[in-house]
Amino acid sequence: MISGPHAGLRLFLRRLAAPPADGRKRIVLYVHGATFPSALSVAHRFDRQSWRDVLCEAGFNVWGLDFQGFGGSDRYPEMAQDAGAHGPLCRTEDAAGQLAAAIGFILERERVASLSLLAHSWGTMVAGRFASAHPDLVDRLAFFAPIARRDGPASDAGSDPAWRVITNAAQHARFVEDVPSSEPPVLSSAHFAEWAERYLDSDAQSRLRDPAGVKVPAGPAAEIARAWRGDLAYDPGLIRAPVAILRGEWDSLVTDADARWLWNALAHSPVKRDIKISRGTHLMHLESARRALWRESATFLLGDDVAAISR
């Protein structure tokens, strides 16, 4: 638990270390998305293996941050009040301040000058905002299922709530809605049942609700909607680090057009990759294609993609 930018509220960090094989210390910090924390993503083990384990085997010390209101971090006091009493909590600017606090702690603890970021969905906006403002602190950016800017119609966002409740049924719908009806499931029912119980565990009050559900800040969802109305919360053109766009074939939140827009917007990134993996959706890190995603992210973060091209 570390201090964050909000007085009296603490942020939760998790770490799994690997001894450097070549004398170099490699650090990567995972930045989660809009509805579940690091324990349910980079650190969750399916059949005794997680994304974090794979990155450690590749030589990384892997850190995971839970944003305020998620997982092991403290909740905003407003989350105990009516959802309509305040605006959306944990918007990108706020989350970027939390990320900055985590990165400052990690760099001091690891005694390194910079690290890499591995971010998912809305988390790519937070990571992108930080990397834009602090280019010297970021080695590489692996953007998994990144949200891009779209030119959708304007709408009235004044009624967005402070928080919302996500049920396991809603999470399951996200796992299956983008999979073509002619294709087999990408997540086994046994795997989802195990994951769903751990998801409810991430909120001590979840099972007191009917139906059971996890309360999360609504700022991330509001920021995604805002990006699709033409207002992305960071400028990709300010990023100076190598960037990989990692996405699933069936991800409706990151279409080919979205990836093309982001690729073009990353005008000053010295190395860019657009890696599209078959049979994956927006939650591919928990699906049958997860190991392909894990391998591709490790290869990029190590810089092996550049070495392979140069050979």
Task: Please answer whether residues 299 and 57 qualify as being in contact, where contact means their C-beta atoms are separated by less than 8 angstroms.
Answer: no
DSSP state at residue 78: G
Asked whether the predicted pLDDT for residue 31 surpasses 70, the reply is yes
pLDDT beyond 50 at 309 = no
Query: What region does 182 belong to: left with phi over 0, alpha with psi -120 to 50, or beta?
Result: alpha
CA-closest candidate to residue 116, choices 297, 307, 305: 297
Distance CA 108, CA 33 (A): 25
Judge whether 122 and 147 are in contact, CB under 8 Å. yes
Query: ω into residue 211 within 30 of 0, thus cis?
Result: yes
Beta bridge partners of 106: none
- pLDDT band at residue 155, thresholds of 50, 70 and 90? low
Q: What is the pLDDT of residue 311?
A: 34
pTM: 0.94
DSSP state at residue 50? -
CB contact at 8 A, 258 and 282? no
Residue 247's pLDDT band, with cuts at 50, 70 and 90, is: very high
Q: What are phi and psi of 159, to 5 degrees?
A: -95, 10
Neighbours of 69 (CB within 10 A): 25
CB atoms within 10 A of CB 74: 17
Is the pLDDT reported for residue 156 higher than 80? no
Element (H, E) at 184: none
- Does an H or E element contain 228, and which? none
Torsion of CA 165, 169, 175, 181, to 10 degrees: -140
51-82, pLDDT tens digit by residue? 999 999 999 999 999 999 999 999 999 999 99
Q: Is the pLDDT of residue 235 over 90?
A: yes
For tokens 């839970």, the residue is: 66
Q: For the chain, give the percent of residues with pLDDT over 90.
A: 87
Task: Domains for the chain: give ranges and CATH numbers.
Answer: 2-310 (3.40.50.1820)
Contacts of 12 (CB under 8 A, 6+ apart): 1, 65, 66, 71, 72, 73
The pLDDT value recorded for residue 24 is: 81
**What is the model's pLDDT at position 307?**
47
98 CA to centre of own chain: 14
- What number is the average pLDDT over the span 186-197? 91
pLDDT tens digit sequence for 127-138: 999 999 999 999
Question: What average pLDDT score do residues 292-306 get?
Answer: 90
* Cα separation, 138 vs 120, whole angstroms: 16
240 Cα distance to chain centroid = 20
